[in-house]
Each structure stands twice: as structure tokens, then as C-alpha cells.
Structure 1
Amino acid sequence: MAEQTNTNLLIDIAQDFYINQLTIADISTKYQVSRYMISKYLDEALAQNIVSISIRSPFARNQELERQLAAVNPGHHFYVLANAEQSNNDADRFYSFAAQTVQNLINPLKIIGLSWGDTVYNVIEHFKPTVKEQLIFTQFMGENGKYNSLAGSMRMVQKAANKYNSHYSTLNAPLYIINDQVRQLLSLEPAIQPTLTTAHQMDLILTTLGTIESLESIPSWQESLVALFPNLNRKEVAGFLYGRPFNHAGQFLINPIADKTFGLAIDSILQVPIRVAVVNNKFKSHAVAAALRGNFLTDLVLDEPTATKILAIHN
């Protein structure tokens, strides 16, 4: 009889803690038992299989795909969100997964560089608000020209900093400056130079991959495409990254000496220890595969269809 009474007590306490979500202090008061004993009873309920705990993460990863991708792309890290059996909003689920993954990478770091675009915007939108006052989000390239878009370069660092209650540093300059002398002198201006100095110390870059069509969607760049990228053959372009076009062999299609991009040089960008791209569009798979060939990235956050397509390209 005493054993049955003890079992009933364990059940009642477990229900109050796990189902009714009472605190241990509340349960202690309710049953007139010390908090130490309540903790022991909860442990006993687990040991006697009165309580069974299972965790169902909405962000299950396809570790087999990650392993296969890492095998053919040594030195890279992959985070692949597994397909859900049922999901009413795959995009929202993916961006939540990407945000969690990126925030885990950011956690021990100090200076984070951000590019632009809807994908980066949506990842930041899904960041879990936290306080890390010493963190700095910075631009490392000029403004992309989408001044009427929430996904513009400058707004990106401001939005991320708000999520962390931290600092941000902006570049009040356009992404491309055709005049070489103007571009060189502008980098020395007091309003510009501190951000470039900060960017040179970045621990991580968060970006996505673009296309030549995304560049041409901005009138000022479309009108100046020939001046920005002389002799560019559209058919050779696999994608855009860090403001520069690259080909399917993983080579940037620019002459470093004639690079019109304002901000950090490619060599400096590729020295940043962690360079994360978030991609959930299988039509960008060839661009991702090319970026991997060029070692432009270190980490990729992918959905399963995109990861599968990238692996098929390698095979």
C-alpha cells in the first residue's frame, strides 16, 4: 500500500512539473516537501519510467547528405535541413533553422560582416533576440543600391544589431565606384576608414549567392555593366558573390587591379575565418557548386532539395 502511495505521489508531482508546468518551488509548497526532495522524486519518476521524455526537433538535419557533401568538398561544413513530413511553411521553417545555425556560429565571435539580399534579411528576421553588447555587425562592401528595400546593405547591419542590442558599422558609399582615384581616396575618408578597419577584423561573414539578373535589376548597375565588368561573357557567369561574378570553375571573373567594387578586396575577404552562405533555392545549385570549387565559402546552410542537387552536380 505504501508503495502505491509513493507511486501516486510521483505521478502527481511529475504531472504538476511536466504537464501543469509548476515550478519546483510551487510544487514544494503544494506538497509540503523540500525542493531537494521534489528534485529526487522527479529523478525517481524518470528512473521508474513513470515519465518518458522525447524531443522532436523541427530542425532535424540530414546528416547523411552533410557527410556526402563534406566528403567531396573537404574543408567545408554543411548544415542541411531535412525535409519535413508535413509543413505548412517550408520557407519559415528553413529560415528559423538557418537563423539558429548562424547564431550558434556567431555566439563566441566579436565582428560579423553582412552582405545583403532577401535571404540574409529573412535569416536575420528569424534571429532569436539576445543581448551581446560587445558584438559588432559591419558592412564590408558598399551599399548595393536597393535604397527602397528592407534588404539593402546598410539596413542589414542595423537590423542584426537590433536583434543583439549591439553595435553596427556602415559604409556610406556605393557598392561600385568606376573612377579608380575616387574609390581609392574615398576609402581614406574619416567617415569611411573606421568601418573598413573593422571589416578587416571580421570573424564571420553571412551572405548568400546572387545572379547577374539580380545585379541588372538595379538600374544604375545595369546601365554601367560594361564599365564595371569589361568583356564579361554572361554565359561564363555561374553566380555573384561578394559583389563579383565568378565562373563554373570557381574563378572570379575580374582583374583585381581593375576591380570597381568598393570595400574589402577579394584576397582580404577570403582570409575571414568563417564565410557562411545560406541557400534554399535549388536553381542556385550550380552557383554553389562553383563557389565550393573556388573555396569562396567555409560553411553552407542548405535545404534538402538544394543539397541533393549540389551533390548530383559533383557526382
Structure 2
Amino acid sequence: MPNSAPGRLRGGAPEAGRLPPRDDGPFVEAAWLYYHDGLNQTEIAERMQISRASVVNYLAEARSRGWVRVHLDSDVFRGHRLAAELCAAYGLAEAQVVPDDPVDPAGTGRVTRAAADWLPRLLAPGDRLGVSWGATVYQMAQQVPQFPVPDLTVIQLLGSRPAALGFAPEACTAMLAQRLGGQCINLHVPLILSDKGLRDALCAEPVVQAQLEALATCNKTVLACGTCDAEAHVVRSGILDPEGIAAYRAQGAEGVICARLIDAEGRPVITEVESRMIGVSLDQMRDKDMALLVAAGPGRARPARAALRGGFVTHLTTSTSIAKELLEMTP
């Protein structure tokens, strides 16, 4: 990262287990000289009368403590030629195209980081943000900066699903609410019940009914669109089995939005668990003021295209390789 890379310093009491305040000075001073004054590491070493290796360690410590956040302005990615072509081809309001990582071409880190930096700029006071789930959304949520949005409400879009995957729906929602300073509304019910009658009875409970009414009021969403293969999130979390997803794929299923399957045109592919599921409907996911799709990882071009064609997306963050695949397909 160049010496002139933008950064942000933020103070505050050190967390438990960290060095006492009197020891923070060298880390703050080194970070200030590097990120605000534009000095290089050799110049900082001379100014502070320490070794260059110490400067490197101080800067690394300042970043690990969360005092410094370095980012590229999202305008860089939105100005990419492929971003303009995606907007024209698919009728998007805006798109970001992030360079593929040469070390890890199948990695998702660059895309989720770019989406995390962009999301706060897409929100306004009073917005009601609906949050999908999955590894991509969870990874993005972890990287969103502390950026309070006045009067923001962050809403879980589907019920919970016990799974040892580390990215439950309530975790994605709560993390985004905390980082964006918003009120959090979790949907405190299972995603899938054992029978439709039990599902309907639970939905009729006043507290659950109020939560379902809240998710219907979202004017903005952040989502991913999963694959329909044997490694799909809906398979790994036990919603469908490999044989089941293969059968639905044979019926035309190409993507998964909030545990609901869609075909290549974004139309519903009804599964046998739908009548027992509690969460946002596909109709409720369409036609939002802003809907940010984060498309990252192997095999995500076709699901992303299905979501784009189905009217679930207004804004897109993706990688160069996926952008090229999307443009090679018939929009």
C-alpha cells in the first residue's frame, strides 16, 4: 500500500488485555506520521529514533487494534469499464468490479471488502436494511467499518438455522447493526418447521407476526445468491440434501436467495420445504430502493445473472472474472 493511502485513526479506551494507555503513544505517533503526514517508514524511524523494523511493527499493531482502516475509494471500482458495461447490460443503478486476486483467484476477500466499504455510502438516515445470510454476507459484515447511520434499522430476513458453519442469519444481522449503529430486529424463529400447521401457528404469534411485518418494510437489502450444486449453502446447512438440490437443478434452479430457489429468469422454483419455511418471500425481495448483491467465488456468475434478471438487484459488487462471465452471457 503506498504511503499516501488514505486511512482513518480513531481513539478510545484500549480493550481488555491490551497495553495500558501510556504505552499507546508510539503506535499512534507512527500511524499518524505514516497515514496523515505521508512519511515513509525510514523517515518515521529517523523522526522517532527507532529502527525501521519497529516502525513496521508499530504500524501493524495500530491496524490490528482497529485504530487504522485503509481502503480504496469505491469510486475506483465503480469507474471500471466493466462496471459501466454491467450497468448498461443489466439495468443496474451502479456496479463495482474488483480485480481478481492473483494469489487466490477463487478467493472472496477482495469483493467482500469492497462491498463492506461501499455499503455505508448506500444508506441514509431512516433506512430499513434487510440482511440475507451465508458465508459471503457474513464475511462482508465482518469488514464493514464503524459508520453510524442515524435512525437505521437492520432486519433479519429469514429464520435461524442451526448449523456449524459460523454464519447464522442472526449473526450477520447483529454484526451489521452494531457496525452501522442501527437498531437490530432479529427473527426469533426457526427457518424450517416440521409441518405447515406448526409453521402457520408460530407465524400467528403476535411477537413473530410483528417481526414478519418488520421485514416486509425493508426499503434496502444486502444479499448473496448461492449456487445449486452439492456444495450449496442450502445443502451444507441441511435445508436440502444433495439429491434434492440435483432434482431442483434439473427443473431449472440456478440460484438461491434467502433459502429460496430461483431459475435463470429469477422465477421461483418451489421446493418441498417452502410451506414450512419462515422468512422473507421472493416477491418481498424485489423492487427495492437499493439491493446490493455481493457476487464472489467460484460458480457465482450464473446465480448472479438469475438474481439480476429476477429484479432482486440494483447494485452489484463482484470480481473481474465474474463480471466478464456475466457480460458473455445473454443479459
TM-score under structure 2 length normalisation: 0.68
Partner of 2:154: 137
Between 1:88-97 and 1:113-122, the stretch displaced more is 88-97
Cα pair 1:114 1:205 within 8 Å, conserved: yes
Cα pair 1:138 1:170 within 8 Å, conserved: yes
Between 1:237-246 and 1:170-179, the stretch displaced more is 170-179
Secondary structure of the structure 2 residue equivalent to 1:305: helix
Cα pair 2:150 2:182 within 8 Å, conserved: yes
Partner of 1:120: 137
Shift in Å, 1:172: 1.7
Secondary structure of the structure 2 residue equivalent to 1:262: coil
Alignment pair present for 1:262 and 2:278: yes
Shift in Å, 1:145: 3.2
Shift in Å, 1:164: 2.6
Amino acid at match of 2:236: S
Shift in Å, 1:84: 7.5
Shift in Å, 1:112: 0.9
Alignment pair present for 1:309 and 2:320: no
Aligned equivalent of 1:189, options 205, 226, 241: 205
| Number of aligned positions between the proteins | 261
Distance (Å, rounded) in 2 between the aligned partners of 1:121 and 1:180: 29
Relative to structure 1, is the Cα distance of residues 251 and 285 closer, same or farther in structure 2, using a 3 angstrom cutoff?
same
Distance (Å, rounded) in 1 between the aligned partners of 2:101 and 2:261: 34
Aligned equivalent of 1:232, options 241, 248, 259: 248
Cα pair 2:92 2:313 within 8 Å, conserved: no
Relative to structure 1, is the Cα distance of residues 271 and 183 closer, same or farther in structure 2, using a 3 angstrom cutoff?
farther
Distance (Å, rounded) in 1 between the aligned partners of 2:200 and 2:311: 27
Amino acid at match of 1:222: L
Aligned equivalent of 1:177, options 169, 193, 214: 193
> Based on CA coordinates, which of the two structures has the bigger radius of gyration?
1
Amino acid at match of 1:278: V
Relative to structure 1, is the Cα distance of residues 84 and 215 closer, same or farther in structure 2, using a 3 angstrom cutoff?
closer
Cα pair 2:225 2:303 within 8 Å, conserved: yes
Partner of 1:222: 240
Cα pair 1:289 1:314 within 8 Å, conserved: no
Q: Deviations over 1:123-150 (max 9, x none)?
A: 111111133462211112111332x343
Identity of counterpart residues, as a percentage? Answer: 19
Distance (Å, rounded) in 2 between the aligned partners of 1:143 and 1:234: 28
Distance (Å, rounded) in 2 between the aligned partners of 1:104 and 1:281: 24
Cα pair 1:70 1:78 within 8 Å, conserved: yes
Aligned equivalent of 1:101, options 118, 137, 141: 118
Q: Deviations over 1:139-192 (max 9, x none)?
A: 12111332x343110111111122133321111222233522222221121331
Gaps of 5+ in 1: 1-14, 22-55
Gaps of 5+ in 2: 1-32, 40-70
Distance (Å, rounded) in 1 between the aligned partners of 2:327 and 2:302: 10
Aligned equivalent of 2:91, options 52, 57, 74: 74
Distance (Å, rounded) in 2 between the aligned partners of 1:58 and 1:76: 18
Q: Aligned-pair RMSD on alpha carbons?
A: 3.5
Relative to structure 1, is the Cα distance of residues 179 and 84 closer, same or farther in structure 2, using a 3 angstrom cutoff?
closer
Distance (Å, rounded) in 2 between the aligned partners of 1:20 and 1:67: 33
1:1-315 mapped onto 2 (5 Å cutoff): 19=37, 57=72, 60-61=76-77, 62-82=79-99, 91-132=108-149, 134-146=151-163, 148-177=164-193, 179-212=195-228, 213-219=232-238, 221-222=239-240, 232-234=248-250, 236-254=252-270, 259-314=275-330
Distance (Å, rounded) in 1 between the aligned partners of 2:283 and 2:293: 18
Cα pair 1:109 1:203 within 8 Å, conserved: no
